[in-house]
Amino acid sequence: MAGYNPGAMSERIAFIGFGEAGQTIGRGLLAQGVPLCTYDILFDDPADQGRLAAKAREMGVAVAASHAEAVRGASLVFLAVTASSSLEAARSCLPGLAKGQLFLDINSVSPRRKQETAALVSPTGAAYVDVAVMAPVAPYGHRVPCLAGGPGARELMPRAQALGMQVEFVSDDVGQASAIKMFRSILIKGLEALMLESMLAASEYRVEARVLASLKETFPSLDWEKLSGYLIERVVRHGARRAAEMREVAATLTEIGIEPIMASATAVRQQWLADLGVKNSVPARVEDRATLVAAIRRALGRTPSTQN
């Protein structure tokens, strides 16, 4: 088997949620020779017509009938659901959790939500791990850089290394790993929203190239043409998920007494583009700024700018 790792074979891994992140990380772990089991609420959704379950089986992943069945007997459990459902999904796993398991919460939720989830998991005997995924999953697969904290983080380190994962220990406390990711997102996802708004506005007057040239003068070390396309593509492709994460960031800021002016605005702009549905009209991984802005203008009923 390609990528066979004798140390990895002792693990049995469960994924709760088998969307993009679960599938991408799962493929890498399968290549290490690790048996996988999964449950996703879409398995029971008549509208899905069994498509997601069929996809899992095609990959060689066992499909469970419930959260508890998926996690029962697993050595590592990945919680990889939507931000809004993370707490309820964790609660549904509780009957199947037991001492000796590591419960890896990789959702992009607030530190307080991670703490609430850890409190739910603790009585089962399973060790909770607050995992912050620090880069897009697609290019890395299961080797995506992550930060880890919480009661099970130290135990995870050698096991993650045996699986080929890139995990950095942060703290024995729950919340610090997620806090690093969240407060970094204020800048990263904020920059995405700013670039989108700047280039779309500039396209109305066909001055995109001049704006980027001016930015190059101010920050000469950056390739602004390339960066603009990359940042806008991230919003086109993942705007809904990024908006949800930024709403979590805004809630976290409110909890600690900071008015979330920038985080909230970023969430609005990211969601705005997601709602336009531009993602469906642009081929995957197109990072050309002019192509992306033209697609956005078409979605708005405006003629594309003639300046590249």
Tens-digit pLDDT string for the chain (308 aa): 344 454 555 799 999 999 999 999 999 999 999 999 999 999 999 999 999 999 999 999 999 999 999 999 999 999 999 888 999 999 999 999 999 999 999 998 999 999 999 999 999 999 999 999 999 898 899 999 999 999 999 999 999 999 999 999 999 999 999 999 999 999 999 999 999 999 999 999 999 999 999 999 999 999 999 999 999 999 999 999 899 999 999 999 999 999 999 999 999 999 999 999 999 899 888 999 999 999 999 999 988 766 55
Q: Is 113 exposed, middle or buried (0-12, 13-18, 19+ CB in 10 A)?
A: buried
In angstroms, the Cα distances linking 180 to 103, 111, 124, 138, 229 are 20, 10, 28, 21, 26
The helix-helix angle for 289-299 and 176-204 (nearest 10°) equals 80
Token couple for 78? 């990945």
179-198 burial, b for 16+ CB within 10 Å, e for fewer?
bbbbeebbeebbebbebbeb
Half-sphere exposure of 96 (CA within 13 A, CB side): 24
Tokens 């000469």 -> residue: 220
pLDDT at 9: 54
pTM confidence score: 0.86
- In whole angstroms, how far apart are CA 7 and each of 86, 128, 224, 278? 30, 22, 44, 44
- Going by C-beta distance under 8 Å and a sequence separation of 6 or more, which residues neighbour residue 158? none
6: CB partners within 8 A, 6+ apart: none
Q: Where are the beta strands (DSSP E) in 134-252?
A: 146-149, 167-171
The pLDDT assigned to 2 comes to 41
What number of CA atoms fall less than 13 Å from residue 25's CA on the CB side?
A: 32
All domains of the chain in start order, with CATH:
8-174 (3.40.50.720), 178-299 (1.10.1040.10)
pLDDT of residue 3: 45
Q: What is the pLDDT of residue 4?
A: 41
Mind spelling out the 3-state secondary structure of 5-19? Answer: CCCHHHCCEEEECCC
Q: Cβ distance 78 to 14 under 8 Å?
A: yes
Give the three-class secondary structure for 163. coil
Amino acid 175: pLDDT = 95
Rounded CA-CA distance 139/49 in Å is 29
